Amino acid sequence: MDRMAEQNAVSHGRLYPAGEPFAHHRMSVGDGHTLYVEECGHPDGQPVVVLHGGPGGGCSPFMRRFFDPEHYRVVLFDQRGCGRSRPTASVEANTTQHLIRDIEQIRTTLGIESWLLFGGSWGATLALAYAQAHPGHVRGLILRGVFLGMQEELDWFYGGGVARFFPDYWAQFCKPVPSEERGDMVAAYHRRLFSDDTTLQGRFAVPWLVWENALAGLQSSPVSHAPPDYARAFARLENHYFINRCFLDEGQLLRDRHRIQHLPAVIVQGRYDMVCPPQSAWRLAESWDKCELRLVPASGHALSEPRITVELVNVMNGMRDLG
């Protein structure tokens, strides 16, 4: 969702120039997957890895702009199956555990001992899962729009909870699905997104993407189209992860929080985030002494929400002294 939402971004003079990567990598991670990886900023700077949303959203030049290029060595990559990674839209050997291993391979291949994790939405989920698996290689976490991969969160977004606020958008999301299948929209879309008919996959990929992006920002409005390849990869990957409960035990990221409570963390959370409501961020931060929760007023979910953008830049500027 982050990548599509950038079309609504406005400059407030706070973002750094996008710049160009000083290195590009095509990294084979096994299972037939090759990842696109880029490095930006200062080659000897403080390392930070950017974990994009979705799953399936991919990274973009906009995501480079939150970091002081004179201080940070910024690593961005497209997760399995999306963006410039190949094969596109593939869900084979594509689970949370595979992605955690990929992040570790990127770290070791680039010769990084430890790094900051910067992730929003699904990227926050993945940052938490990776940090809990490899706390010794993490310096701190910067999270936005927290999603914990729990069933209640999926029920909110795909089970009719948020539809109480957006009945018109919800009706459009449900329209392609027969009424008798609307009790489980994730499963209904899964049957079409993973059919043998690629035309049918495309017809259902767009409304899946449109529904999510329509709710991403306070001023967002539905778009009627999206790049077909992007929509297909995004919808298939996200649906694949959600129908499999993000390949996490229910409540796992809260259960295992003790593994990372010694690490500093900042959560930037839109007060009116309709995709990932603030309750999850609150529960994660509660009793985590080194975690600061910043509830941002008049803001929704997207990385490009103006106040969210400014707050994240401020956070990263403040992190420059972390060492």
Query: Using one digit for the tens of pLDDT, what is the confidence trace for 151-171?
Result: 999 999 999 999 999 999 999
Mean pLDDT value of segment 6-31? 79
Active-site option among 52, 273, 280, 299: 273
Mean residue pLDDT of the chain comes to: 94
Percentage above 90 pLDDT, the chain: 90
DSSP classification of residue 54: T
- What pLDDT is stored for residue 226 in this prediction? 75
Q: Using alpha carbons, list the distances in angstroms from residue 45 to 108, 119, 195.
A: 16, 19, 46
Q: What is the pTM of this model?
A: 0.95
Query: Using one digit for the tens of pLDDT, what is the confidence trace for 137-151?
Result: 999 999 999 999 999
Task: Give the Cα separation of 59 and 55 in Å (integer).
Answer: 11
Active-site option among 60, 280, 301, 304: 301
Judge whether 273 counts as a catalytic residue: yes
Maximum CA extent, the chain: 57
| Residue boundaries of the structural domains of the chain | 2-150+247-322, 151-245
Task: Give the Cα separation of 86 and 74 in Å (integer).
Answer: 22
φ and ψ at residue 34, rounded to 5 degrees:
-125, 125
3-state DSSP of 201-269: HHHHHHHHHHHHHHCCCCCCCCCCCCCHHHHHHHHHHHHHHHHCHHHCCCCHHHHCHHHCCCCCEEEEE
CATH number of the structural domain 2-150+247-322: 3.40.50.1820
Judge whether 289 counts as a catalytic residue: no
Judge whether 301 counts as a catalytic residue: yes
